[in-house]
Structure 1
Amino acid sequence: MKKILLTCVAALGILAVAPISEAATSVKPYPMDYWAAPNFMDNVSLSPNGKFLAFRKADSQKGDHIIEVYEADNMAKKPKRLGAKSMRIRGFSWVGDEEMVVSFNKQVSKKIKGFNRGAFKSKLALYSLRTNKFNELNADDFNLSLVNGLVNEPNHVLVRYSFFDRSKSFRAPSYYRYNLKTGSKQLVLKGNDDMFGYRFDEDGNPRFANEFDEGSKETVFLYRDIGGSGWNEYYRQSQDSFETFQYGGIVDGTSDEIYVIAHNGNDKEGLWKYNLKTKSFGELVYRRNDVDLAGTVRHTNSWSNPGVVTGVRYGKDKYHVKYFDKSEEAMMKQFEQAIPNAHLLSVSSRSRDGDVLVMRNSGPRDPGSYYLFNKGKLSLVGSVNGLLKGKDLADVEYITYTSRDGKKIPAYVTRPQGKGPFPLIVMPHGGPFVSEVVGWDDWGQMLANNGYMVLQPQYRGSQNYGLEYYQSAFINGGEGGKKMQDDKDDGVKYLISKGDVDPDRVAMFGWSYGGYAALIAAAREPNIYQCVIAGAAVADNLQQVNYYRDRLDGAQEVEQVNFWDGSISPIEETDKVNVPMLIIHGSVDQRVPITHSDKYSKALDKSGKSYEYIALENADHFSNTLDYDHKMKAYPRMMSFLKKDCGPGGL
C-alpha cells in the first residue's frame, strides 16, 4: 500500500479531453485501505509569479505530510521537499514569489479543554526558497495566524496576534502588518473585546466588523472608510431573527455600495445591493424561488482583480454559478469541456499575470483532481486519491419526495453500479442546521462501491430551502426524533415504492446529528431498519445543551438549546432499541464529547440490549480529522457489520 500511495501522487501528463465512458455494471469493491488513505495531495497552489507550483503530499498512510515545490515550466524536474520532525504540516500559503507561511500542529493533550477547545497546538513558520530555511513566527506569549497576503506589498502580510496574559486568560486579538524580510510588525488594528468579524481589503485596511449591542440585543454591522479611524453603523439585526444578512463583497466601481445576501423579508435569500451611507437595500440582483444562495463568487485573479464579485453560487443537483462576468464564465465553460468527469470546478490558484492557473475538480466520479494550465497546455498534476477510478464510482441523483404531512423533501441518491433492488443505507448529514449539496462524498461512494444504495435526505431544518423549511424543525420545541425522523423514513418508503430498494435490507449510518438520528432510528416502533451505525452521536440532549448553553441566546438559543430541549433524547429511549447497533466515537471529540457514547452504552447495558462500541483513540469530532488508523479500525468493521450482523442474515 505504501508503494502505491507514494507513486500515485503526481501523475503528470497531458490531459485527455474526452470524458470517460462509464459502464453500468457491477464492480469489485476496493480494499478498505483505499478508502482509509489520507489525501494524497491538497493545497495545490502557485507562487504569485507563476514560476513555482507546490502542494502538500501524503508521505505515508499515517497522514504524515511533506510539501513538494516544483518549477511550473519543468514539472518533470525533481521537486524540493519540505518536512517536519516533531509536528505535522497542516498547510501553507504563498506570501511572496519565493516565500510561504507554513502551519504545523501536534497533539499536546489526551483530553479536550471544553467546547470547541481541542487537544492540539499550532505553530507558523516562514519558509524561503532562496535560503531554504524556516523562521518560526510564534512566541510563547501569543498565538499567531495568517490573515492574508497584501497584493500591493509583496514583502508584507497581515497577521493576527491572539495574546494571553500571565493568568492565561484570553485577550482580544490585534492585527499587524508583518514584514517578511525584517520580522518587524506595524499595528493595523488594536484588539477590542466588543468587536468581531473583521474584514480587511487587499491593502490590509480594516473595512468591516460587527459588534453586539447588549442593551437592544442586536448584532450591529459596521464599516470604516479607507483612511478613516472610526466605525460607522450600517445595519442592525435582532438576535431573535432567523433571517440572513451576510456581506458579499464590494460593488465594483462604487465606494458606498456592497453586495449582501439577505432574506429582506422573503422566504428565500437574494443577492442585493446595499447602500452603506443611506443604510438601505437597493437593487435585487439575483434570487431563486427554489433554493437559497451559497455565496458570491470572486474573480479568479485575486492579484489584478482583488475582491471583485463575478457571480453568485447556489446549490441544487450540484453547485451552479450565475455569472455577471462573461469572460470568467466562458473560461470556466472551456475547462468544463476539457476536464473528465467535470462537476465542481474552481480555480484554486492563479499567477499574478493571469497566464498560469491551477484548476480543481471534484464530483461523484472524481474524489478531487488538480490540473495545471501553463503556456496553453492543460496537464494533470494529480488526484486527491489516485487509487479510486472514475469508472468504478457511482453517480449521484438529486430527487424530491413527499413526506407523510405533505412537505416536499429534497434528497440525494447514490446509485451503485449493477441492477436493483439494492440494500439501502440512509445517511443523514450532521448539523443538523446546515446546507448539504452532494458532489464527492467518500462515505457515500464507499458504501455504493460495496453494493449499497445511499440516501442522503435534506430533512426539514436543513438550510438552503428557505426560512419556512428551516424553521419547521423548531415547531413544538424541536422536531428531532419526530417529524425530522419521519422525513428520513419517508424517503426509504419512497425508494421502496419505486422498486429501487429491498424493504428487508435497510440500515442507517450517521455522524454527529446523523449519529443522533441513527440512535433514534434504533428505537423506532415499528422499525423499518435492520440495524444502525452511530458515529460521534449526541446521545444525551441535556448534556449537549449544558455543554454550550451559556454561550448562546436569541436565534442561536432556539436553534440549539430549545431544539435539543424539545427533541427526543436517545438515552431515554434505550429500552425501546430493537435492532443491532454499532457505536463509534473519538476519544478527544471537542464538539460532542465521548461521554455521550459512554453514558449511552451504560444505559444500553442497564436495558439489557446488545451492541458493539468502538472508541477511536485521539480522534476528534469531524470526519476530516480521522486518520488512517482511525479509519482502518472503523471502516472494515462497518462493512462486515452491515454484511453479516445487520438484522437476520445481514444486509
Structure 2
Amino acid sequence: MSMLKRLAASLLILVSIDVASKTIDTYPLDYWALRDVISNVEVSPDGKRLALLKIPTKDGDPIIEVYPTDNLEAEPYRINSDPMEIQSFFWLSDDVIGMSLRQKVRDKIEGFNRGVYEYLLASVDVKRKKLKKYDQLGADLEHVLPNNDRRIIFSYLPGGDDDRLNKAFRPRTYFELDVKSGAKKLILRGKLDMGQVEFDIDGNPWLARGFDVAKGEYVWYQRITDKSKWQEMYRMSEDSFETFEVEGFDDKQPHIFYVRANNGDDKIGLWEFDVKKVSFGELIYRRSDVDVAGVRYHSNQWKNMDTVAGVVYTKENIEVEYFDELEMATAQQLENIIPNSHYVRINSRSRDGSSLTIYNVGPRDPGTYYILHKGKLTKVGGRQPLLEPERLADVRYIEYKARDGRTIPAYLTIPNGTPPFPAIVMPHGGPFVSEVVLYDEWAQMLANNGYIVLQPEYRGSKGFGLDHYQSAFINGGQGGYKMQDDKDDGMQYLVEQGWTESDRLAMFGWSYGGYAALVAAARKEQIYQCVIAGAAVSDNQMQVNYYRDRIRGAQKIEQLGMWDDSISPIETVADVNVPILLIHGSVDQRVPPAHAERYRKALDKHGKVYKYVELDGADHFSNTLFYDHQKVLYESMISYLKSDCGAGGL
C-alpha cells in the first residue's frame, strides 16, 4: 500500500467523516480539532531515506516513519518513544535520527513557567533499529556537526528559570555527545559574562554573548580573528530598545559579520559589522515600512551551513531578497510548480544537493510537504489533508487608521461568500511579538463558519519599527486605552468598508488577546455583542508579580510600563456589559488558572452573564492542545457565537 493510500486509510480512523458534509461549505469541527497529521518531513544526508512525523489517530501520539526515497510505497520503519511523546526530529547522520521528547510527569503546575512536562533528547539508529535516550533533562540540540557523523553538540540551562536576565543571555553549559555510545564530554560551562555560544560547521566556537553586571551592558565576543581567545566586539546598554543580533558571517570574508540592528534607525536593517575594525560597515538591506526579520541560510545545510543566502522581511507574506542567484532561481522554480504556492521553502536537502523536501503553507494550504528526488516531484502529505483548498479562505493584508492617526497593519481572513459577514477581531498574544498570517487555524475555522476575522498588528506589535512597538508603553501603558482603540477602530473600518455590520461584532483572543477581550467586555463605548477570552490575564498585578523581580533594563521598562499602567480587568468587572465566554487550561503555566478563578468570582459577585470552559490538562501553548481540547474549544466557541453572543447570537 502506498504512502498516500495509507494516509487516506488513516484519515478514516482519525475522524468519522460525514459524507453529507461534502455538499455544504462548513466542515465538521472534528476536522479542525485534529493535530497535524504529517509534519517535519526531512530527507537523510545521503538522500536514501525520507522521514516524517505522523499522528496516526485522532488521540494518538506522534510516531516517526522512515521510507526509502526510491520506494515511498514500501512499508516504513516506525519509531515511537512510549511513554514519552516525540516533539520533533532531525537527521544527525545518514543512519541516525535525533529526537526531542517530552513526558507529562505531574498533574499540576509548580508555579509560573513551571509546567507539567519534562524534556529529553534521544536518537535512533535506523539501520540497526536501536533507540538511545540521553539523561540530561531540558537539553537542547545546538549543532549537528555535518562533518562528523558520530557527534553533536547539545546544551542545557543549569539552575532553572530563576535567573534575573533575559533568557537569550542566560549562561548555558555545552557538551559534545557521541550518538553511538552515549558518552558526553564537557566543552565549556557558560558564565554570566560570557554564556551564549555559537559554533561553526566544524564545531568551532565563533560567537559568544554575555552580560556585564557592573555596567549593565550586554557584551558580544568573537573568535574569528584569533581562534585561541575571545575578543570583545560590541556592547549595548540593557536599557536600550534597539536590536543587535548577529545572524552569520561572510564565508569568503569571515571577519565580516551579518548583523540585524537598528543602529540608530526606527527600522531594523541588515548590516555588515567588521570585527577587525570593531565597527558597523555597509548597510546591506533596510526597508521603510517593516523591520528585517532575519536571514535565509543556504538550503544545503550539510555543505553550506554557515552561508547566508538572503535577507527576510514579512508583510503580506514572508519575503526573501536573495544574495545567491542559484538559491533564488531554485526558489522561484519551486514556487511555479507547487500547487497553491504561497510561502515555499526547502526544509531539508541531501548532502549532494540532488534530493530535497519542500514545504508550502498559505491561506489555501494548511501546510503540504513534497520531495524532489531523481528529478521527480512527489507529494508526501499535508498537515491537515481533510481540508480542501477551494473551501478555505483568502487572507488579505490591509492597513487602516486608528483614531489618533496611527497606521495599523492587519490581516483579514475572508469567508467564501458575499459580505457583509459577522466579524471577529482576534488580537494576537504577547503582546510584544511579530506576526505574519500565512495560515491561521483559528481564523480559518471561524471563516469556514461564516465569520470574517481581523488580526490587527496593534501598537506594541513588533516588526514595524521601534516607534510602533514602544508606543504601547513608553508614555504610560496603553493596554485598555490606545491599544484597545486600535482593535475597535479596525472593526469600525470593516463596517465602513461594507465587510460587516455594526451589530455583528465580537472579539476572541488568547493570552494577551484574552486580556484584550476582557477589557473589551467592560468598555463603556461598547461595540461588541460578546467576547471570548482564552487563557486571559485578568489581574495585571498578579501576572507581573510572577516575574517582577526577575526582569531589568529595557524589559523592565516594557513590562512594568505596560502592565502597571494599563487597565486591569479584575478592577472593571462591575462595568462588564456584554456576555463573556471564558476558556482556560487547567495546567496553564504562563497565565495560571488563578486568573480565571478570581475573575469568575468577581463576575458572580456582580451578577454578570458568562460561561466557563476548562480544558483539562491543557497548558498555555498550542502544542499542549490535543484533539479533545481543540474539539471542546471549537464547539464551545461556535455554539456560543451562534446562540449566546448578544440577542439571537452573532
Between the aligned partners of 1:143 and 1:502, the Cα distance in structure 2 is: 50
Matches of 2:5 and 2:453 in 1, distance apart? 28
Q: Deviations over 1:155-213 (max 9, x none)?
A: 21112255679xxxxx9643222222333333322342443332111111121121111
> Aligned partners of 2:382, 2:301: CA distance in 1, in Å?
25
Does residue 153 of structure 1 match 2:148? yes
Alpha-carbon separation, structure 2, partners of 1:90 and 1:255:
35
Aligned equivalents of 1:290, 1:596: Cα separation in 2? 37
- Is 1:64 the equivalent of 2:61? yes
Contact kept in structure 2, 1:580 and 1:646, CA below 8 Å: yes
Inter-CA distance 116–194: structure 2 relative to 1 (3 Å threshold): farther
Q: Deviations over 1:279-334 (max 9, x none)?
A: 21000000001110110110000112111001111011111111111111110011
Whole-angstrom CA distance in 1 between matches of 2:530 and 2:255: 58
The aligned residue for residue 38 of structure 1 is 35
Counterpart check, 1:552 vs 2:554: no
1:445 offset after TM fit, Å?
Answer: 0.2
1:376 CA drift (Å): 0.8
2:501 paired residue number = 502
Between Structure 1 and Structure 2, how many residues are aligned? Answer: 628
Does residue 624 of structure 2 align to residue 625 of structure 1?
A: yes
**Alpha-carbon distance change, 557 to 358 in structure 1, aligned in 2, over 3 angstroms:** same
Which residue does the alignment assign to 2:534?
Answer: 535
3-state secondary structure, aligned to 2:561:
helix
Q: Which amino acid aligns with 1:395?
A: D
1:16 is matched with which residue?
A: none
| Aligned with residue 110 of structure 2, among 101, 110, 113 | 113
SS at match of 2:502: strand
Structure 1's 632 and 245: CA in aligned 2 closer, same or farther, altered over 3 A?
Answer: same
**Match status 1:86 vs 2:83:** yes
Pairing 1:147-546 to 2, within 5 Å after superposition:
147-160=142-155, 173-225=172-224, 228-546=227-545
CA distance in 1: counterparts of 2:329 and 2:387, whole angstroms:
30
Q: Does structure 2 conserve the Cα–Cα contact (< 8 Å) formed by 1:10 and 1:383? A: no
- The answer for unaligned runs of 5 or more in structure 2 is 12-22, 161-169
CA distance in 1, matches of 2:429, 2:5: 30
Asked whether the equivalents of residues 515 and 536 of structure 2 are also in contact (C-alpha less than 8 Å), the reply is: yes
Report the secondary structure of 2:581's partner residue. Answer: strand
Which segments of structure 1 move beyond 4 Å, counting only runs of 4 or more? 161-165
The correspondence of residues 128-139 of structure 1 with structure 2, limited to 5 A, is 128-138=125-135
Task: Return the alpha-carbon distance in structure 2 between the equivalents of residues 174 and 411 of structure 1.
Answer: 41
**SS of corresponding position for 2:429:** coil
Distance (Å, rounded) in 1 between the aligned partners of 2:68 and 2:189:
40
Which residue is 1:18 aligned to? none
Residue 515 of structure 1 aligns to a residue whose secondary structure is helix
Are the equivalent residues in 2 in contact too, given 1:6–1:60 (CA < 8 A)?
no
Q: Is the 8 A contact 2:356 2:371 kept in 1?
A: yes
Alignment partner, residue 566 of structure 1 = 565
Partner SS state of residue 329, structure 2 = helix
CA contact (8 A) 2:190 2:196 kept: no
Q: Give SS of 2:430's match.
A: coil
Structure 1 residues 271 and 163, CA gap change in structure 2 (3 angstroms):
closer
Q: Match of 1:38, SS?
A: coil
Residue aligning to 2:20? none
How far does the alpha carbon of each residue in 1:379-401 deviate from its partner, in whole angstroms, 9 at most, with x for none? 10000010111000000011111
1:10 CA drift (Å)? 9.1
Whether the aligned pair in 2 keeps the contact of 1:261 and 1:272 (CA below 8 Å) is yes
In the alignment, is residue 7 of structure 1 matched against residue 7 of structure 2? yes
Cα offset for 1:84? 2.8
8 Å contact from structure 2 (residues 118, 138) kept in 1: no
Higher relative contact order (CA 8 A, sep 6+): 1
The offset of 1:63, in angstroms, is 4.2
The answer to whether the 8 Å contact 1:476/1:566 transfers is no
* Cα 1:27/1:257, change in 2 over 3 Å: farther
The DSSP-based 3-state class of the residue aligned with 2:492 is: helix
Q: Distance in 1 between matches of 2:244 and 2:481?
A: 30
Task: Measure the CA separation in 1 of the matches of 2:159 and 2:458.
Answer: 43
Any idea what the Cα deviations from partners look like across 1:358-377, whole Å, max 9, x if unmatched?
Answer: 00000100000000001111
Q: Deviations over 1:238-286 (max 9, x none)?
A: 1111111111111131121100011100111111000112221000000
Letter in 1 for 2:99: V
Partner of 2:17: none
The 2-side partners of 1:305 and 1:7 are apart by: 34
What's the offset of the Cα at 1:344?
0.9
Query: d(CA) in 1 for partners of 2:173 and 2:516?
Result: 42
The alpha-carbon deviation at position 6 of structure 1 amounts to 6.7
Q: Could you say if the C-alpha distance between residues 125 and 506 of structure 1 is closer, same or farther in structure 2, counting changes exceeding 3 Å?
A: same
Give me the TM-score of the superposition, normalised by structure 1: 0.93
Q: 1:399 to 1:161 in 2, by over 3 A?
A: closer
> Equivalents in 1 of 2:36, 2:440: separation in Å?
13
Distance of 2:185 and 2:79 partners within structure 1: 30
Are residues 198 and 9 of structure 1, via their aligned partners in 2, closer, same or farther at CA, if it must alter by over 3 Å? farther
CA RMSD of aligned residues (A): 2.0
For the residue of structure 2 that corresponds to 1:400, the secondary structure is strand
SS at match of 2:335: helix
In structure 1, distance between residues paired with 2:95 and 2:225: 30
- Single out whichever of 452-461 and 218-227 deviates more from structure 2: 218-227
Aligned partners of 1:6 and 1:59 also within 8 Å: no
Other structure's SS at 1:502 match: coil
Could you tell me whether the CA contact under 8 Å between 1:50 and 1:72 is conserved in 2? yes
Cα displacement string for residues 445-484 of structure 1 (whole angstroms, at most 9, x for unaligned residues): 0000000000011111111111111111114321000000
Rounded to whole Å, the distance in 1 between the matches of 2:6 and 2:118 is 28
Alignment partner of 1:503: what SS? coil
CA change 1:324–1:227 in 2 (3 A) is same
Contact 1:5 1:60 in 2 (8 A): no
Q: Distance in 2 between matches of 1:45 and 1:442?
A: 23
Show the counterpart of 2:163: none
Deviations for 1:478-511, whole angstroms, at most 9, x for unmatched residues?
Answer: 1000000001101111110111101111000000
Within 1, Cα distance between the matches of 2:140 and 2:421? 49
- Select between 200-209 and 486-495 the one with higher mean Cα deviation: 200-209
The question of whether the paired residues in 1 share the 8 Å contact of 2:357 and 2:370 is answered with yes
Over 3 Å counting, the alpha-carbon distance change for 1:319 and 1:429 in structure 2 is same
Q: Percent identity?
A: 53
Q: Supply the AA of the counterpart residue of 1:84.
A: S
Structure 1: stretches of 5+ with no match in the other structure? 12-25, 166-170
Q: Check if 1:29 corresponds to 2:17.
A: no
Conserved? CA contact 2:220–2:232, under 8 Å: yes
- Checking the alignment, whether the CA contact within 8 Å between 1:258 and 1:274 is kept in structure 2 is yes
TM-score w.r.t. the length of structure 2 is 0.94
Mapped contact 2:10–2:56 kept (Cα < 8 A): no
Match of 2:73? Answer: 76
* Residue aligned with 1:314, SS: strand
Further displaced range: 385-394 or 587-596 = 587-596
Separation in structure 1 between the aligned mates of residue 374 and residue 574 of structure 2, nearest angstrom: 67
